[in-house]
Chain A
Amino acid sequence: MNPIWVIAKKELNSYFNSLIGYLILSIFLIFIGAFTWLIGNDVFIRQQATLDEFFNWAPMFLLFMIPALTMKQLAEEKKSGTIELLLTKNISNRQLVIGKFLACFLMVCITIAFTLPYYITIVQLGNADHGAIIGGYIGLLLLSAAFTSIGIFASSLGDNQIVAFLLALVINVIFLFILGFVGNSFSGWFGDILNTLSIPEHYSSISRGVLDTKDLIYFGSMIFLFLFLAELKISNRG
């Protein structure tokens, strides 16, 4: 078996063998369910067969949920010293990082899969825009993968899980809100660059059902960059 998959399987199992996996999954579903169907500008108030509210709110909760999943991945291994056991076995630094990433990403995918009944419900309620919804889910997965790689990177920096969580949260907030916010207050090329780097710029166009290569490249390079930095960090052990 490929070492990447061995790690991913172990980590995924450990989420479901403890309370953490179920806890994070249910908290996410409770909040996203409430905000999609019950609170604020929900589906019934809009009287439209769309999942726009769901796709607007999901990143806000993933913002917290993904760092909670990723924070332990490398930080705990460092703290307990088990990283020494892992890396002296037949597995490379890269395989370890990718394995950890995969475990968290699959966990997020499973969580998001629990929202598929929303889609079925909307289709029953009216004429749904299938393209937009499928695009929305693809966008959500890409955004989750980007958050996950940020989380893995934050977890690789030290041996403290709380620090890893907060750091991942801060980086996520920067990409999700601050870059766009600052970008809008500058005109010209500087503002453009900041806007291009911000997640909503790309997420919203995918959510409308428009799959553009430049958005895919954006998310792809972000995932690659943070995983690469994490690998660099754990390779460098003196």
Chain B
Amino acid sequence: MDIQIQQLTKSYGFQKAVDNISFSVKTGEVLGFLGPNGAGKTTTMKMITNYIDIEQGDVLIGGQSVKSGEMSQHIGYLPEHNPLYHDMPVIDYLEFCAALQGVSKSIVPHRIREMVRLCGLDIEKHKKIGELSKGYRQRVGLAQAMIHDPEILILDEPTTGLDPNQIIEIRDLIRQMGKQKTVILSTHILPEVEATCDRILIINHGKIVADGTASTLRKQAQGQQVLKIKIDEGEVNQIYEKLQKLETVAMVDFADATHNRFEIQSVVERQSNKAIFELCVKNNWVLSECIPFETKLEDIFRDLTLN
């Protein structure tokens, strides 16, 4: 099932929390929903899950509007802060969620076993939820979202409060799920989107400011190729002059003159790697470093959301 979001708008008072956004997510795609706090991520997710009313626009799931209130059995939702019943044992809770989602009674035990295995809850399954550590609670939250095997997963900050090992486990789980399902996850942890998501959507003040894979976003932000190189032997100024004469090179900068390090910006849409290599061969220089400079996702994010 795919999700189509059409001109979705929601305002609180005079402030537009979500302002006329449209996008779609295909089956088998993991969409990372990025944005600073208060950008409208959670509001959008709450509208997709039909928890809050849609003011304008629509959300279609498999072609059907969520406004009908009948799409909830296709959606698995992990809300922000992962609310749970602390006085309920894990197994009872999963049973309760399965029953609410209308999972037929004969397969409930099977589904629960499956979730316990998938989310690594085996050793904690007989405890009350309130006795679990934060990481395990998060797993219970994920398990309840997936208990009815929904085609769509909406996860609002699924890895907050987890330790690095747990984060990696949860990411693996999401990636695994994402192969057959349609997943939207929100976060403001940038390495996380790179690690888990096929596509990134950045929103700010309720508007979409970027949409694409991590590498296309980088390309857009960067424009020209930037290389950091180090050439052993040879005289600094001589190297500098010769580099500047290359036709693919737009600009050369000394990064560290004493160690023959340079920063080279190529002409738009051109690559300089080959030309630099050939220049070094011709002059008998040793090219000991050649590092493409990547714009960090953090920089892209700051660029897009600060103005």
Contacts and interface: CB of A to CB of B under 8 A. Distances in A.
Interface stretch (B33-41, B83-91, B221-229, B264-272): B83-91
Given A89-B72, A91-B100, A18 B50 contact: no
B87 A85 contact: no
Nearest to A80: B83
Contacts of A90: 72-73, 100-102
A17 B84 CA distance: 17
Interface stretch (B74-82, B158-166, B185-193, B285-293): B74-82
Give chain B's interface residue range (CB within 8 Å of chain A). Answer: 20 to 34
Contact of A88 (B12, B77, B81, B88): B77
Interface string B92-110: 0000110111100100000
Nearest to A83: B83
A177 to B, nearest CB: 36
B157 to A, nearest CB: 13
B interface, over-half SS:
loop
A80 B73 CA distance: 23
A82 B101 contact: no
Nearest to A76: B85
Nearest to A99: B100
Interface string A1-16: 1010011001000100
Contact of A18 (B12, B77, B79, B87): B87
A92 B87 contact: no
A99 to B, nearest CB: 10
B295 to A, nearest CB: 37
B51 interface: yes
A84 B99 contact: no
B101 A89 contact: yes
A82 B83 contact: yes
Contacts of B49: 88
A238 interface: yes
B72 A88 contact: yes
A125 interface: no
Interface in A8-30: 10, 14, 17-18
B50 A88 contact: yes
A88 B150 CA distance: 13
A166 to B, nearest CB: 24
Contacts of A10: 96
A87 B51 contact: yes
Contacts of A34: none
A81 interface: yes
A17 B96 CA distance: 15
Contacts of A46: none
A82 B96 contact: no
Nearest to A14: B87
A141 to B, nearest CB: 28
A91 B69 CA distance: 9
Interface in A86-101: 86-92
Contact of A81 (B52, B69, B81, B87): B81
B72 A85 contact: no
A237 interface: yes
A237 B83 contact: no
A89 B83 CA distance: 14
A41 B83 CA distance: 51
Contacts of A6: 96, 99-100
A85 B52 CA distance: 12
B83 A84 contact: yes
Given A88-B51, A89-B100, A238-B53, A82 B85 contact: yes
Contacts of B81: 81
User: Which of A17, A82, A85, A86 is most buried by chain B, counting CB atoms within 10 A of its CB?
Assistant: A85
In the complex, the 6 A-B pairs of residues with the closest C-beta atoms, listed nearest first: A81-B83, A88-B49, A6-B99, A82-B83, A89-B100, A90-B73
Interface of B: 12, 46, 49-53, 69, 72-73, 75, 77, 79, 81, 83-88, 96-97, 99-102, 105, 144
11 contacts: A1-B105, A3-B102, A6-B96, A6-B99, A84-B83, A85-B144, A86-B100, A89-B97, A90-B72, A90-B100, A91-B72
